[in-house]
Amino acid sequence: MQLVADPGVFPPAPPSDLDHASVIAAHDWAAFDQVEEMNNHWDRPGWAGNTRAYYWMLTFPGATALIDHARQCQSALSHLSLDSIDEDGLHLTLGRIGRVGEITERQLDVLAATASASVAEAFTLNAIPLTASRGAVRYSVAPWTPVLRLHAALAAVGTGLGLPMRQPTSILRPHLGIAYCNRPLSARAVRDAIRPLRDLDAAAASVQQVQLVELRREGHNYRWDVVHSLALR
């Protein structure tokens, strides 16, 4: 699958191998090594307290190994006073469909029904060494190919129904956050805190479903209601 460089995403350039865990991890870490200061994740245009929007996401409510791994890392980073993501808030964002009020329930029903016949196979995702972006501490994940394949299938269905995703598959950078930065913060301090955690073993999570959710913010947390959950084949 062909990915392209884009300065609006992080990392701006894709890794040289989309499935090799060590290549992805090294690429993500090298990108974060260029960041001097992290910023406030919550200071984002287009979001307010009353914003509601529909997204395709992967969620991990029963992924015990991943949840325990994230808790261990969050505890080790507690001195940074970041906004840790609760275990029921762990997610991998695939793409935004549109705001509530712009899309009808009927359109969502048709989207889900059509997508259910097109979704890709189930797969296992590995949360590999911890890293960060400009606004969050997150796992690199591998492999990317099944995530990109799923995104492409959902995007094609949405486009055909007049509900395109906000970003194309070509600039997707799969990742899984565990904590959001809530203020300007030295990236060097975050790197120093994360570096020892990069030696931990990877945590695997089975991906059997994809969710269409209505997403909202509650304080410094993302919460959602599942509108449709589609089983992967």
Dump pLDDT digits (tens) for 153-183. Answer: 999 999 999 999 999 999 999 999 999 999 9
Is the backbone peptide bond immediately before 143 cis, with ω within 30 degrees of 0?
A: yes
Dump pLDDT digits (tens) for 17-76. Answer: 999 999 999 999 999 999 999 999 999 877 777 899 999 999 999 999 999 999 999 999
Structural domain boundaries in the chain: 21-42+50-231
Pick the closest to residue 112 from 46, 219, 45, 209 (CA basis): 209
Question: What is the H or E stretch that residue 26 is in?
Answer: helix 21-32
Dump pLDDT digits (tens) for 203-224. Answer: 999 999 999 999 999 989 999 9
DSSP symbols for 149-190 = HHHHHHHHHHHHTT---SS-GGG---EEEEEE--S-EEHHHH
Per the CATH hierarchy, to which homologous superfamily does domain 21-42+50-231 belong?
Cyclic phosphodiesterase (3.90.1140.10)
